[in-house]
Amino acid sequence: MTGAQKHIVVTGGGSGVGAETARVLAQTGAHVTIMGRRETPLRAQGLPYQICDVTDPDAVEAAFEAARKAHGPVLGVVANAGAADSVPFARMTAETMTDMLAVNLMGVVNVWRAALQDMKQAGWGRMIAIASTAGLKGYPYVSAYCAAKHGVVGLTRSLAMELAGAGITVNAVCPGFVETPLLDRSVENIIAKTGLSEDAARDSLIRNNPQRRFIQAEEVAGAVSYLFSDAARSVNGHCLTLSGGEI
């Protein structure tokens, strides 16, 4: 079995990596439902959508139930919704840590749990998290984000062992900095806090990448598409890095 003709949910599907991933999966023949908090960007993608905040378990369950009624059991979930914040640890508030964990870690937990029973009943499923190289190494000034993404990697590896016998694979894609609107906001934040030029701010983000370039959304989408393929049926508990050799 492959992801073709399966019902796949992609969170954070209104822009960037989520939108590109949804587009690529739909081209393979999958029935894709995108989810996000804002209707306007979701509607613009031309795919079925549900509005929900992944940090709200009840809203997630309701969105999945609506998607299930419209398109059948959910047998694939790409947990892509996320957020980033940059602040020195000495100035970081408890709220910042809580917020980063809520969206970047608990958001993954909530959407994977919402589809688990469908996958178990089918004896086939694909759980994929869009994590980050920040889940595999540390970066300064983003300790809350790194903590959350490290949590996603641990969750992925643990669930992979727990669910392997049920025909479900659990993997993470860990890109470096991806050229998306989220990256643009990170650059703006660096400029505002440091006074660097835009070129210098962007260079500060890619200097650890041996290829000296940002990852493109279509590269992440391609990795996700591979993980849905039969060729990847033995790939389980893996963190697929897209970082130009940084990791």
Q: 41 — alpha (psi -120 to 50), left (phi > 0) or beta? A: alpha
Amino acid at 63: A
User: What is the CA angle 165-168-18, rounded to 5?
Assistant: 165
Indicate if 139 belongs to the active site: no
Alpha-carbon distance of 28 to 137, in angstroms, equals 33
Alpha-carbon distance of 72 to 194, in angstroms, equals 50
HEC profile of 216-239: CHHHHHHHHHHHCCHHHCCCCCCE
User: What is the CA angle 83-95-64, rounded to 5?
Assistant: 50
Q: 239 — alpha (psi -120 to 50), left (phi > 0) or beta? A: beta
SS3 assignment, position 7:
strand
Residue of 139, 141, 145, 226 marked active site = 145
Amino acid at 169: T
- The separation between CA 166 and the C-alpha centre of its own chain, rounded to angstroms, equals 23
SS3 assignment, position 17:
helix
The catalytic residues are: 145
